[in-house]
Amino acid sequence: MESNKGMTLIETILATGLIAVLIMIGYMFYFTGVKAFDRNADRAEMQHNVRYSISYISEALLGAGNLEVIVEPNKLIIDQTAFKLSEGALKINRNYFSSGSRFTVLAENIATFEVTRSGKMISIMIISKPKNSDEPFMLETQVLLRRP
């Protein structure tokens, strides 16, 4: 009897095709995972920008007195610090009333920055500008000015 230890052409073609299909399936899972990771990273950055901004402004308001807060359309001035929305970014100027001082970026990809005042109550709403087809992220807060 002869020993048939080799593979036929059909077996080789089938094995190659099966390996190619497995590699394609693996690539599809990898590509889908990478896209999901990037989308989640963008969403996390967008939420971080809004949360950080609203927290920073709220802390500044908690230490401010009633006379130190000025609310203008798309601008909030707390003592010497001003916040405004410009070019899709929330910007801050820590020495607003000094000549030569400039605004720097506090948070990027911000679509809306609204501040309203009703007596001693300051309401702030910040909405992010989504990078992809994600929904915008919005946070709202109210701060009661305690000091006269």
The answer to whether position 2 is within a domain reads no
What is the predicted pLDDT for the residue at 1?
A: 55
State which of 3-7, 118-122, 132-136, 143-147 shows the largest mean pLDDT: 118-122
The answer to whether position 115 is within a domain reads yes
Residue 16 pLDDT > 60, yes or no?
A: yes
Average pLDDT over residues 2-29: 88
Domain extent at residue 45 = 10-144
pTM: 0.77
Average pLDDT over residues 78-88: 92
Q: By the 8 A CB rule, do 131 and 109 touch?
A: yes
The answer to whether position 5 is within a domain reads no
The answer to whether position 117 is within a domain reads yes
In whole angstroms, give the CA distance from residue 70 to residue 80. Answer: 10
b/e code 120-135 from CB counts within 10 Å (16+ = b): eebebbbbbeeeeeee
Q: By the 8 A CB rule, do 122 and 142 touch?
A: yes
What total of structural domains would you count in the chain? 1
Average pLDDT over residues 1-10: 73
The position carrying tokens 């989504």 is 130
| Residues paired with 128 in a beta bridge | 110
Confidence of residue 41 (pLDDT cuts 50, 70, 90): confident
The answer to whether position 1 is within a domain reads no
Residue 74 pLDDT > 60, yes or no?
A: yes
The answer to whether position 4 is within a domain reads no
Judged by DSSP in three states, 76 sits in: strand
The answer to whether position 14 is within a domain reads yes
Confidence of residue 99 (pLDDT cuts 50, 70, 90): confident
Supply 128's token pair: 């992010």
